[in-house]
Amino acid sequence: MTTLDEGLERAASDNHAVALPLDLEWAGAFWEAFHCQRCGKCCTGDICKGAYVSTEVVANMAVHLGMSTKQFKKRYTYTDNGRRYVLQPCPFYQDGVCKLYHMHNARPTVCRIFPLDIPVDGKLTVNARCPEALTLARTLWKSFETGLQQKEAK
């Protein structure tokens, strides 16, 4: 196993994201190749404790569902250390589908960008607990290494 493979495996087993040594322009290549397998691990609590939701997203979600912000918070969220999260398992994930998927402004940012995460030091960060993302991270890294080897050979 290469060092990257070991790092990916460790990140996956420790429930962490891994920062790939790839600049953020690789994010476009990631999204072109990523195909969600609808395993639900991101929505059922297997990967994270809940999706952080800002005040704006809470308001958007409440409007989308036809309820007040107060009702929405009481029914679908909890707070931890002053931050608000959607309950896990996510009440909007049913039968392999997110009920809010096509409502871009009503989905938490973390849901919209998952399995990517907040960049670390300007590098692409991938949640290694997502099975498809783990496979794709390996593929992207091999493509990157191959490109480096070809440049060095010239």
Angle at 56 between CA 24 and CA 99, to 5 degrees: 80
Tell me: do 43 and 88 sit in the same domain. yes
Where residue 1 falls among pLDDT bands split at 50, 70, 90?
very low
pLDDT band at 16 (very low <50, low <70, confident <90, very high): low
Count of structural domains within the chain: 2
Three-state secondary-structure class, residue 141: helix
Q: Are residues 19 and 57 in the same domain?
A: no
Comparing 6-10, 105-109, 123-127, which segment has the lowest mean pLDDT?
A: 6-10
Q: Are residues 59 and 7 in the same domain?
A: no
Residues 44 and 106 in one domain: yes
Per cent of the chain over pLDDT 90 is: 26
Query: Which domain does 53 fall in, by range?
Result: 36-114
106 and 54 together in one domain:
yes
Do 59 and 104 belong to one domain? yes
Q: Count CB-CB contacts under 10 A for residue 38.
A: 13
Q: Are residues 53 and 101 in the same domain?
A: yes
**pLDDT score of 61:** 93
Q: Is the pTM of this model over 0.75?
A: no
Return the closest-CA partner of residue 111 out of 68, 37, 57, 65: 57
Q: Are residues 129 and 102 in the same domain?
A: no
Output the pLDDT for position 74: 97
| 35-91 tens-digit pLDDT | 888 888 889 887 777 889 999 999 999 999 999 999 999 999 999 999 999 999 999
